[in-house]
Structure 1
Amino acid sequence: MDTIATHKHVASVSLADSLRDPEGFAAELGKSFETYGFAIIADHGIPADLIARAEDKAKAFFALPEAVKRGYHIAGGGGARGYTPFGIETAKGASAYDLKEFWHVGRELPDGHRFNEVMAANVWPREIEGFKQTFLELFDAFDTAGLRILEAIARYLGLAPDYFEDTVSDGNSVLRLLHYPPIPGDGPNVRAGAHEDINTITLLLGAEEAGLQLLDRDGDWVPVTPPPGALAVNIGDMLQRLTNNVMRSTTHRVVNPPPERRGVSRYSMPFFLHFRPDFLIETLPDCVSAERPNLYPEPITAHDYLLERLREIKLA
């Protein structure tokens, strides 16, 4: 039986402190990322009214008839844009699919952009008024908050504060709108099986509804329960690889609710912040030592790494 450790807590910080005390904020945030791979961040600058509007638009989309939603599923698209139906995504190494459906919004690129061949164009549902405008606004707000968090990570690693700006400029980031429908009963499937994120960092809104848990170094599952409106932020595999496992990409999951909550849907909005596709993920020299040999001697571009991982989770 899994051990749930309720006495362990990831750091809970205010992004406003990154301006008041940049080094202190970076130290607290970085320690939590190094220990747990997660942190809770308040005062992140994403407007509450924008979050509320986005939640309403997402719920309206998922309430559409199944046939209408499936009209936005792009066959062979690897789930990069538009709608991914219930029962497709499967955690790496798992046999039972996750109990979720989702919609992906990517970065809007101008015609002729150098990344157009590897970053698909967005699609937008015609049925939900204001959907495009709302989620482009939210994408930009996540992008801004993410860059401030990366600045603190850079400070913690002893890098120039603006180190990550170029690495994520025009990055292949994805905003995911998630719907976990009511659970009919017991079974092998869970809302999100144990997994690690592929990307650089993930910023998650909507984790107030219980269910998100991380697996710590002691083998305990630790609940991650941010207060309303706060972000749950975690390290992805790309940043773990870049830092030679100094920053931890921690296994996490979303467990099924207790019986009294099984009839309630769960909604959330994770933003998967990515490096630009041609960024070469090559171990940072300062993260290699005699005590910490280079675990990733072969560099790989962010795009190639993404494709490799998408195949593992059956999205490509």
Structure 2
Amino acid sequence: MTIAAVASERPVAVPHYVPAPEADEDLDYADLAIIDLSKLATPAGKSELAVEVRNAMREQGFCYVVNHGYTSGQTERMFDIADVAFSGVSDEEKRVYEGRMLQTGSYQGFKLRQYWHIDSGVHDQVENYNINRDVTKKEHPQAIRPLLPEIREFSKHNHLNVLHPILRLLALGMGLPEETFVDIHGYGAVGETYSRFMKYYPRSEEEEAKTNNVWLKGHTDFGSITILYSQPVAALQILSPDGKWRWIRHIPNALVINAGDALEYLSGGFYRGTIHRVVQPPPSQRGYTRLGVFYFAMPDDDVKLVPRLSPVNPVWADRKFKDEDAPTMEAHRKGRTSAYGKSELKKSDDGVEEEVINGVLIRHYN
């Protein structure tokens, strides 16, 4: 795929994806902060946001972001585009563009259903299509090719207009220079930061029983920041500080932001990778597919994941590794990508499943 192949900016007509109606049930939702990026327009607003983001990411590890620069219509268009990867591509063609996660440690391409082991011999019912922010890096299915200009702009928008402002606020919240984290998340740098389209399909009652209704077991993301475009199917839950699993509420045209392990390492534990999972939706939404639109951000591949300690966080109290043993982002992401859902896990005394990757203990919450 060449640059010329994605040069056209004319929008292409695609079928409209109709999501499920919002859940009828009164669910136990997490009380998350709502970060209004329009406040960045003034110095006082930026200072206020730095405190809000710091507190949100330290207390919950998740928050909502509004006024992020995309209209409701633009967001709806991206969900239409996302669904093309699944409804507009045959199973045969999906296999042609299947990613080789185990061999390469990269998610680029399709992650097909039944790849990840969930529990008790049950495998997942979710498809991913992952596109590097450099959309020319890999070939794409026929139906996706005319949409690459919009996908490229979507990635660029998320990187420069959402990720970078959030990284600046996170640095200010630690008392670090504003560009500390931005400088190691270059838009044009070598790395694996990517957009992901993700579609969950309903499962059988037998599969639900064997997995206790868990679709994706509790885990932390391995990157720095994950950006999720809010959608109406209730299935995402976070492990709250009080030890209870709580649902993430849908807010139309909001983003759901969470921290991953790379940010935990880079901040010396000041910010934590947040434990979350996906479960069967409530009864009013069962039978619907759940379409997700994400931007998974990671530091540049050559960055060593050593802490950027600061006056407000001078010591990494529960250090995961010595500085000299810190992996690069490339080694970290490849190890996590190739192992996820494929490795043998050991259960600890508290029932949590564990594995060691690059000398770091990784936990899965089932």
TM-score (norm 1): 0.87
User: Per the alignment, do residues 282 and 39 of structure 1 end up closer, same or farther by CA in structure 2, a change over 3 Å counting?
Assistant: same
The 8 Å contact of residues 181 and 265 in structure 1, kept in 2 or not, is answered as yes
| Structure 1 residue 176 displacement after superposition | 0.8
Give the Cα separation in 2 of the matches to 1:139 and 1:158. 29
Question: Residue 192 of structure 2: which of 158, 168, 172 is its match?
Answer: 172
Residue 126 of structure 2 corresponds to residue 100 of structure 1? yes
Please state whether the residue corresponding to 1:39 is helix, strand or coil: strand
Worse-matched range after superposition: 181-190 or 36-45: 181-190
Please state whether the residue corresponding to 2:291 is helix, strand or coil: strand
Deviations 1:170-221 (A, max 9, x none): 2420111000012332333533221110001001013432111100222111
Structure number with greater Rg is 2
Q: Which runs of 5+ in 1 are unaligned?
A: 111-120
| Structure 1 residue 131 displacement after superposition | 2.1
Name the aligned partner's letter for residue 36 of structure 2. S
Question: Residue 137 of structure 1: which of 149, 153, 173 is its match?
Answer: 153
The 8 Å contact of residues 78 and 315 in structure 1, kept in 2 or not, is answered as no
Tell me the matched-pair count: 301
Please state whether the residue corresponding to 2:150 is helix, strand or coil: helix
Name the aligned partner's letter for residue 259 of structure 1. P
The 8 Å contact of residues 212 and 255 in structure 1, kept in 2 or not, is answered as yes
User: Per the alignment, do residues 301 and 11 of structure 1 end up closer, same or farther by CA in structure 2, a change over 3 Å counting?
Assistant: same
- Where do residues 70-109 of structure 1 align in structure 2 (5 Å cutoff)? 70-75=95-100, 76-90=103-117, 96-108=122-134
Residue 34 of structure 2 corresponds to residue 19 of structure 1? no
Name the aligned partner's letter for residue 202 of structure 1. T
Name the aligned partner's letter for residue 132 of structure 2. G
Give the Cα separation in 2 of the matches to 1:225 and 1:90. 27
Q: Which runs of 5+ in 2 are unaligned?
A: 1-25, 344-366
Give the Cα separation in 2 of the matches to 1:245 and 1:25. 21
User: Per the alignment, do residues 7 and 307 of structure 1 end up closer, same or farther by CA in structure 2, a change over 3 Å counting?
Assistant: closer
| Structure 1 residue 51 displacement after superposition | 2.1
Partner residue of 2:28? 6
Give the Cα separation in 2 of the matches to 1:18 and 1:251. 29
| Structure 1 residue 312 displacement after superposition | 2.6
| Structure 1 residue 8 displacement after superposition | 4.4
TM-score (norm 2): 0.75
Give the Cα separation in 1 of the matches to 2:81 and 2:30. 35
Partner residue of 1:113? none
User: Per the alignment, do residues 210 and 73 of structure 1 end up closer, same or farther by CA in structure 2, a change over 3 Å counting?
Assistant: same
Question: Residue 314 of structure 2: which of 285, 288, 295 is its match?
Answer: 288
User: Per the alignment, do residues 19 and 304 of structure 1 end up closer, same or farther by CA in structure 2, a change over 3 Å counting?
Assistant: same
- Where do residues 209-228 of structure 1 align in structure 2 (5 Å cutoff)? 209-228=233-252
Identity between Structure 1 and Structure 2 (%): 24
